Amino acid sequence: MLERPKQAEHGDYACNVALQLAKALKRPPREIAAQLVAALPASPHLEKAEAAGAGFINFFLKRSFKQQVVHRILDAGTRYGTGMRGQGKKAQVEFVSANPTGPLHVGHGRGAAYGASLANVLAASGFDVTREFYVNDFGRQMDILALSTWLRYLELNGVTVPFPANGYQGEYVRSMAAAIRAEHGARFRHDAGVFMPALDETDEELRLDAMIETAKHTLGGDYDTIHRFALDVQLSDCRDDLAEFGVTFDAWCSERSLYETGRVERALRRLEERGHVYDQDGAKWFRSSRYGDEKDRVVRRENGLYTYFASDIAYHLDKFERGFDIAIDVWGADHHGYIARVKGALAALGLDPQRLTIALVQFAVLYRGGERVSMSTRAGEFVTLRELRKEVGNDAARFFYVLRKSDQHLDFDLDLAKSQSTDNPVYYVQYAHARVCSVLEQWGGDASALARADVTDLVSEREAALLARLLEYPDAVENAARDFAPHLVAFYLRELAAEFHGYYNATRLLVEEERVKLARLALAIAVRQVLRNGLALLGVSAPDRM
RNA sequence: GCGCCCGUAGCUCAGAGGAUAGAGUGUUGGCCUCCGAAGCCAAAGGUCGUGGGUUCGACUCCCGCCGGGCGCGCCA
């Protein structure tokens, strides 16, 4: 038995709810109250409503309110959300910010799928979205790649230098070396002896740094040639990979360019002018602890080089100077400790940190045959996004990636994603779409006839449920935009597909009676349209036949 | 130790403070002379980690504890 409210009578709550609803729906409270009165006697749940108090009435009213607008259904299929949430605000989604030091792996894939779907969902909700890739082409990792490439190149030219364990070991490095050799011959060949002092260093990381220095000194201007070549190859490979994955960008921002255009120095100067930077131990520190960070952070090292954080400050300042109302960064979850300092920097620069949202994406772990597939970029044994796409297909990959809340660990079951069977949710949704296409083909009528379809001919409980489900689509998209959670769209699509499959199995669409047939076909077409729209948001195809 | 994330059916996971907590998968049993069986229907499966608190009402919000993941660089 449900208990009656203790401290107040129902009436008080009902009034309160009516007022809140009136506010939310922007309707006169008197009208809402009238609806309450009208709705309640008809409710089979009246007894429970009384027992449960006003909250139930609230729920019931929302529901009945929705049913009143069910006639919007048939055109709901042609809409992408309501477009109300974004209201034309400019939003930037930055994702797959990566060191272009090798092929994208499955972890990047999740960020790409998530970021792309999120951007689509935001666009569908009325935001003016810019999709941006931040290229980390400045730091040590790129130097390590350039060094690794040169070492492989030397190998090809008969010069053997012990390859560092912490260098990039992948096969693609050898390919780049071969390409350089094909183009430049032995121009970059130097004697192994140049590495002698560097190799004496016992600490692995220091030795690597020393080897990089050796490469820079020995090669001079040629170092930049190799560096740039490796960057170009990796970046275009990355771009092609993502494009094949249905992930494209409106802008590519180079970290290096932030230095070359003086934006890093300008951002730091601005911080300094506002009194947020101090010198200590020969380095420059940003006083991020003032803004809730655990400690202050170095922006310029003792050796005069800027940290990654420094360019990131400049980058985030730049985002808002470019006029974005909101910015969303998609990061790997291992970077969460970095959030406080970036938001702190924005606050210190006089910008509202609330305008920046960091969406953390947890790791994706691949399973094959029930066994965890290991990966590590440096060792070159990773499973690349390309391999994954080839194995399970783009559709399954895109769908599986967003089938989990982004901050949830993702166990990616390769066998399941590959299976063209009943347990694969991608096929389940696509199958519903193909089914509608198939029915329409068999019908063979003129689509314009469907304009005569009348929703009131849809009378069964299943049809009502299907209509209600269709009506939820704009909400699903808006909610996905609100929570930065495209998985809500994936879940919605699965539910819609299930609703349709059930309807289809229970009800014959191509019946004799013309009115009923048209109404049912119109409903099926609405379902197809919503499936198409939703799948498009997720970057998944909607095949006519499978 | 501190910070962030997570703990919901055997498994993988949804769940804007509101109805009897839902899907998928797995298990069991049904449904193709009929628009595609890649489908459908039904059964079974739960102390929502745990103990408090706030509330008319808590899976949801707050605090403590237990368990798991990640992060705590003058790396990027």
| Secondary structure of A43-67 as H, E, C letters | CCCHHHHHHHCHHHHHHHHHHHHHH
pLDDT top residue among A362 and A55: A362
Confidence of residue A471 (pLDDT cuts 50, 70, 90): confident
How confident is the model over A256-268, as a mean pLDDT? 96
**Cα A66 from chain centroid (whole Å):** 30
- Burial degree of A475 (CB within 10 A; 0-12, 13-18, 19+): middle
CA dihedral A83, A86, A89, A93 (to 10 degrees): -110
Interatomic separation, CA of residue A532 and C1' of nucleotide B49, rounded (Å): 40
pLDDT (0 to 100) of residue A337: 87
Rounded CA-CA distance A434/A191 in Å is 64
Protein residue with the closest CA to the C1' atom of nucleotide B72: A337
Which of A189, A204, A111, A130 lies closest to A155 in space, CA to CA?
A189
Nucleotide nearest to A298 (CA to C1'): B74
Interatomic separation, CA of residue A296 and C1' of nucleotide B3, rounded (Å): 15
Protein residue with the closest CA to the C1' atom of nucleotide B5: A407
Both tokens assigned to A454: 């009348």
First to last CA, chain A: 51
Interatomic separation, CA of residue A82 and C1' of nucleotide B4, rounded (Å): 34
Strand spans (E) along A336-409? 356-361, 364-368, 371-373
Say if residue A11's pLDDT is above 50.
no
- Of A61-75, A95-109, A510-524, which gets the smallest average pLDDT? A61-75
Protein residue with the closest CA to the C1' atom of nucleotide B12: A411
Interatomic separation, CA of residue A411 and C1' of nucleotide B67, rounded (Å): 20
Nucleotides of B under 7 A from a protein CB: 2-6, 12-20, 23-26, 34-41, 55-57, 69-76
Nucleotide nearest to A413 (CA to C1'): B12
Interatomic separation, CA of residue A61 and C1' of nucleotide B29, rounded (Å): 40
Protein residue with the closest CA to the C1' atom of nucleotide B56: A5
ipTM: 0.93
Instruction: Characterize A42-75 residue by residue with b for buried, 16 or more Cβ atoms within 10 angstroms of its Cβ, and e for exposed.
Output: ebeeeeebeebbbebbbebbeebeeeeebeebbe
Interatomic separation, CA of residue A282 and C1' of nucleotide B74, rounded (Å): 9
A441 CB neighbour count, 10 Å cutoff: 10
Which of A247, A3, A279, A224 lies closest to A113 in space, CA to CA?
A247
- Residue labelled with tokens 């509608």: A436
Interatomic separation, CA of residue A359 and C1' of nucleotide B23, rounded (Å): 25
A78 CB neighbour count, 10 Å cutoff: 10
Both tokens assigned to A516: 């009923």
- Of A95-99, A200-204, A491-495, which gets the smallest average pLDDT? A95-99
CA dihedral A258, A232, A250, A261 (to 10 degrees): 20
Protein residue with the closest CA to the C1' atom of nucleotide B69: A409
Instruction: Enumerate residues 6+ apart whose C-beta is below 8 A from A389.
Output: A109, A244, A245, A397
Which residues face A360 on adjacent strands?
A331
pLDDT top residue among A335 and A62: A335
pLDDT top residue among A44 and A496: A496
Say if residue A121's pLDDT is above 60.
yes
| Report field, pTM of the whole predicted structure over 0.90 | no
Q: What are phi and psi of A430, to 5 degrees?
A: -65, -35
Interatomic separation, CA of residue A500 and C1' of nucleotide B39, rounded (Å): 10
Interatomic separation, CA of residue A56 and C1' of nucleotide B54, rounded (Å): 21
Q: Can you say whether the dihedral through the CA atoms of A409, A119, A116, A499 is positive or negative?
A: positive
Say if residue A444's pLDDT is above 70.
yes
Q: How many helices (H) and strands (E) does chain A have?
A: 23, 11
- Burial degree of A481 (CB within 10 A; 0-12, 13-18, 19+): buried
Residues in chain A: 546
> Contact A104/A384 with Cβ under 8 angstroms?
yes
Confidence of residue A312 (pLDDT cuts 50, 70, 90): very high
pLDDT (0 to 100) of residue A422: 58
pLDDT (0 to 100) of residue A244: 97
Say if residue A38's pLDDT is above 70.
no
Nucleotide nearest to A339 (CA to C1'): B4
Nucleotide nearest to A365 (CA to C1'): B69
Nucleotide nearest to A543 (CA to C1'): B38
Both tokens assigned to A168: 């990039």
**Percent with pLDDT over 90 in chain A:** 54
